[in-house]
Amino acid sequence: MHGYRLFWQEFRRTFHSTGAVLPSGRSLCRALASQVVPCGRPRRILEVGPGTGVVTDAVVARMGPQDTLDLVELNDRFAEALRVRQQREAAWQDLGARLRIHHQAVEDHVAAEPYETLVSGLPLNNFAAEAVESIFGKLRELADEGATLSFFEYVGIRRIKSLAVSRRERQRLAGVQQAMERACAAWEFKRQMIAANVPPAWVHHLRFDAAPDAARR
């Protein structure tokens, strides 16, 4: 319950970067973590925007004994909550140095080696279109060739928002949609509709097996 209370508080305090009233439901968490699969060798996993760590739990449950997980979280209170969980919860403690928490924006994250599996909980529909383009570009930069990226958006959220906002806001939402569509057109290999979530959500699964600038062609 503490996680839900913290999420609600941060939604009210920092809506732009939190973007939801409640953490992701179990079905959505499982879908976002579904590309964390055994491959017979250590995997490097990145989760951006983990919030209180509900998706992280699903990722941790699917990790192999030599996999590593980096969490990149900008929000101060969420980052601290993640550190507390790392100190107190057995499943997280068992990862030891294989779990690293980075309190920063994803754009500032530097990795020694590229990641093979990426998961995003960022509320992209809250950002400027240019920021969404930048985030996809950064994630592509951090990804190994053939790596997967799983991210979500709420079903129909841009259409609903567009009904009661200014022209400038509609233009922003249209730009965000175009940025997402370009990325999906270049790299998406699977899409899931999670009706059991509140609200229902689309999960997009991308595979970076094309040139980094493919989404802009």
pLDDT for residue 150 is more than 50:
yes
Return the pLDDT at 156: 83
**Amino acid letter at 145?**
E
Query: What 3 state SS string does 16-36 have?
Result: HHHCCCCCCCHHHHHHHCCCC
Q: Is residue 8 part of a domain?
A: no
Question: Residue 14 — pLDDT band, cuts 50, 70, 90?
Answer: low
Q: Is residue 67 part of a domain?
A: yes
Among 17, 21, 7, 69, CA closest to 43: 69
What residues make up the domain containing 154?
24-216
Q: What is the pLDDT of residues 87-126, one digit of tens each?
A: 999 999 999 999 999 999 999 999 999 999 999 999 999 8
Question: Residue 15 — pLDDT band, cuts 50, 70, 90?
Answer: very low
Return the pLDDT at 149: 98
Question: Residue 20 — pLDDT band, cuts 50, 70, 90?
Answer: low
3-state helix, strand, coil in the chain (%, to 5): 45, 20, 30
Q: Is residue 211 part of a domain?
A: yes
Return the pLDDT at 158: 80
Tell me if the bond preceding 42 is cis, omega within 30° of 0.
Answer: no
Return the pLDDT at 68: 98
Q: What is the CA radius of gyration of the chain?
A: 17
Q: Is residue 17 part of a domain?
A: no
Tell me the average pLDDT of the chain: 88
Residues in a beta bridge with 152: 203
Q: Is residue 86 part of a domain?
A: yes
pLDDT for residue 215 is more than 70:
no
26 vs 1: which has the higher pLDDT: 26
Q: How many domains does the chain have?
A: 1
Q: What CATH code is carried by the domain that includes residue 40? A: 3.40.50.150
Residues in a beta bridge with 96: none
Question: Residue 211 — pLDDT band, cuts 50, 70, 90?
Answer: low
pLDDT for residue 216 is more than 50:
no
Q: Is residue 208 part of a domain?
A: yes
Return the pLDDT at 9: 57
Q: pTM of the full predicted structure?
A: 0.86
**Alpha helices in the chain, H assignment, sequence order:** 2-13, 15-18, 26-32, 54-62, 76-88, 90-93, 129-142, 157-162, 167-187
Altogether, the residues listed in the chain come to a count of 217
Q: Is residue 74 part of a domain?
A: yes
pLDDT for residue 3 is more than 60:
no
Q: Is residue 18 part of a domain?
A: no
pLDDT for residue 217 is more than 90:
no
Q: What is the mean pLDDT of residues 70-95?
A: 96
